[in-house]
Structure 1
């Protein structure tokens, strides 16, 4: 019985990193442009939020504090997204892991997350490195299992 391990498709690309096909580059450009548009739209929405606070005339300190909070949340979300796309969800540990109490930070930092997704899509299809590493691990494990079975002739069935 032959064990064949097939790579999983990359999200939004409908193909694996092994068999990219002709439309891969077109999809990659479309995903990059979509992430850039999302980043711009998110920044636009956050600009309206900051403008609304400024209209309340609450003072320069509150305005600066709001802008700082948005910048910190965007930075944290960008770092988390980059790490997740480059190394996988399993690499997130501690405060970066799925913590429901940090949901507001990730929501406010959506611009940073979209920007990280855009930058990662310029390097490769987001998540491609994670899929490639998982496929290589599974292929190595399958080769080890096959070598272990081949090295034990007493376990083979006699015909």
Structure 2
């Protein structure tokens, strides 16, 4: 079994051809859905759902602790609202990152890191839902890769061969 580097060109491909960008947990198997792609996608979907369930259980236990410590009702309500809003925002931002290209004037994703930490259940749910369709981010990577390959083919098709071997016209 040969282990080729994900950035090495496939057999018969030129060194200057564009190479697909690897996706976390999938490498470049998303290009042709090889190397256990389906099993990996199913496993990651189930893992993300399991982590979301465990996170929900953890949040429930935390809320139960607030409830048993006789914390004020308004404070318990604020905690639930904060987690619900952060979960919804984290799920939405994660889903959008997997399905749409980032706009030119996009806000830096690191500004939302704390919201994603608090709403971690939403991140896991968005990952699990996207994994049921394809590898998260595959649509965007495929679009970029196919555009780069098409651009490369157009560029190389215009060449008529090695310039030194061209026949030169007769000089007068």
TM-score if structure 1 supplies the norm length? 0.81
TM-score if structure 2 supplies the norm length? 0.76
Higher gyration radius (CA): 2
* Contact persistence 1:8–1:16 (CA under 8 A): no
- Structure 2 partner of 1:60: 73
Deviations 1:82-116 (A, max 9, x none): 1111235x44822x6221xx432111100001000
Deviations 1:105-137 (A, max 9, x none): 111100001000000011111121121011012
Query: Would the alpha carbon gap of residues 138 and 35 (structure 1) be closer, same or farther in structure 2, given more than 3 Å must change?
Result: same
Question: How far apart, in 2, do the equivalents of 1:53 and 1:23 lie?
Answer: 45
* Contact persistence 2:94–2:127 (CA under 8 A): yes
1:7-156 matches, cutoff 5 A: 7-21=20-34, 23-88=36-101, 90-91=102-103, 93-94=106-107, 97-99=109-111, 102-147=112-157, 149=159, 156=163
Shift of 1:44: 1.1
Unpaired runs of 5+ residues, structure 2, are 1-12, 167-172
Question: How far apart, in 2, do the equivalents of 1:19 and 1:104 lie?
Answer: 36
Question: How far apart, in 2, do the equivalents of 1:72 and 1:18 lie?
Answer: 36
Aligned residues: 152
